[in-house]
Amino acid sequence: MSTDTPFDELARTHGTPLYVYDMDRLDAARHDLVSWLPDGCEVFYALKANPHPELVRALRGPDGRGCRAEISSTGELAAALEAGHAPEDVLYTGPGKTPGELCEAIGLGVRLFSAESLTDLEHIGAAARDQGTVADCLLRINSATASAASGVRMTGKPTQFGIDSETIEDLAPRLLAVPGTTIAGLHLFSQSNAADEAALIGEFLHTIELAAHIERQLGVPLRLLDIGGGFSVPYGQHGERAAYPGLRAELETALDAHFPRWREGAPRLAVESGRYLVGDCGTLLASVSNVKVSRGRTFVVLDAGINTFGGMSGIGRILPVSVRPAPDERDTQRASLAGPLCTPGDILGREIELPAGLAPGDLVAIPNTGAYGPTASLLMFLGRPAPGEAVVRGAEVLSVSRIEHVRTYRKVAEPSG
């Protein structure tokens, strides 16, 4: 690339592959999302999108009044605590909580859990009783029906997530009687990455109506209603975050109809978001290692592949990526964008538009990579180093870090002979 840019300087100083997280963009995403929600609505940040402690800390806010933490492992719990979250700020979710994980989380002070089934609720209760306490639990609901058709569907089919909504009435006595737990509310998450505002609103309205129905079936008032998320941002491609200016009014009308005391906090309302809050703050910088032609097709090989930006472990859901400069900003060529790994699956885009004339040593930038980056990739495959991660605000570099692969040993027996 012919012109010097801040990305060029970062790459020269810190090497590539390098993720660059822009904290001003992260702040803007949080501000926008909160502005489109009813007053008092809590926002849980899903750490699975990016558990980098500095991003988690920034989303929490300097006064702790920003996003709460939604986690699904003790590793994410450690990141949340490192970022300054109090254990009582944390919602622990996931369908496979082990006894050891529950024991550790409760021992550290976590008291709010999402229960995916009756047996999951019983496991939470057993761990709480072992430590002489009681856990507040949200029942995660797998709705039998859905409203919206856009985004990735999370309900309405057999799944490891949530209690089938049609079984709640029969299960209610058993759910309410699990020792060591109290039913604090409901957790409904029906879709992911819904760019269409009308579709997202339709799903939320369906969710609120269903929650009111389940509250009547349970016969206990809900203290917290988590209606999930689905807020959309491009992933590894050019584009802007979706906007939801009509969401607040629609949610308020639905809540007034189904939960007349919600403005008094009965129940408190919550949403959750991962990719929307951090997605567009990230840019992945990679260097061209080689350019080759094979039987008439050009391959641009980068030092970053599915081990760096794996698209949820390289399953190909997000291909292809796009790179800066954007195709309409300069002459382009059609080529495949490959990573450095010794596997034919290490492809970030097949026959896509790339800047013309790319050569070894050139820098490319993949936009909208703040979510599902290093920790959602095949990070240890082939033993390559993890990418660097730089946190910046304006022209100031706040930190540069790297995840290290470390194997630990413990002696189990003396060697024979």
What angle is formed at CA 385 by the lines to CA 380 and CA 391, rounded to 5 degrees? Answer: 110
Determine what percent of the chain falls in helix, strand and coil, rounding each to the nearest 5: 35, 25, 40
Closest CA to 156 of 126, 189, 120: 189
Side chain identity at residue 306, one-letter code: I
Enter the tokens of residue 253: 């009308």
pLDDT, position 317: 53
User: What pLDDT is stored for residue 325 in this prediction?
Assistant: 60
Question: Which residues lie closer than 8 Å to 351 by C-beta, 6 or more apart?
Answer: 297, 334, 335, 336
In this prediction, residue 144 carries a pLDDT of 78
Question: What's the confidence (pLDDT) of residue 215?
Answer: 98
Query: For the chain, what is the largest distance between any 2 Cα atoms, rounded to a whole number of angstroms?
Result: 77
Half-sphere exposure of 315 (CA within 13 A, CB side): 5
Beta bridge partners, 273, equal 45
Residue 204 sits at φ, ψ, to 5 deg, of -65, -40
Q: Name the pTM for this structure.
A: 0.92
Q: Which residue has the tokens 């920790």?
A: 375
Residue type for position 123: H
Please report the pLDDT score of residue 4 as a whole number: 42
**With contact defined as beta carbons under 8 Å apart, do 102 and 312 qualify?**
no
Alpha-carbon radius of gyration of the chain = 23
pLDDT of residue 329: 55
Q: For position 65, what pLDDT does the model report? A: 84
Helix (H) or strand (E) holding 296: none
pLDDT digits (tens, 9 = 90+) for 115-140: 999 999 999 999 999 999 999 999 99
Domain spans in the chain, listed from the N-terminal domain onward? 6-18+280-402, 36-273
- Superfamily, domain 36-273: Alanine racemase (3.20.20.10)
88 CA to centre of own chain: 20
pLDDT of residue 62: 85
Give me the residues of the chain with pLDDT under 70, please: 1-5, 145-159, 191, 311-319, 324-330, 415, 417
pLDDT of residue 254: 98
Rounded distance between C-alpha atoms, residue 376 and residue 415, angstroms: 38
Beta strands in 356-404 (DSSP E): 363-366, 388-393, 396-402
Q: Which one is the CATH code of 6-18+280-402: 2.40.37.10, 3.30.230.70, 2.40.50.140, 2.40.70.10?
A: 2.40.37.10
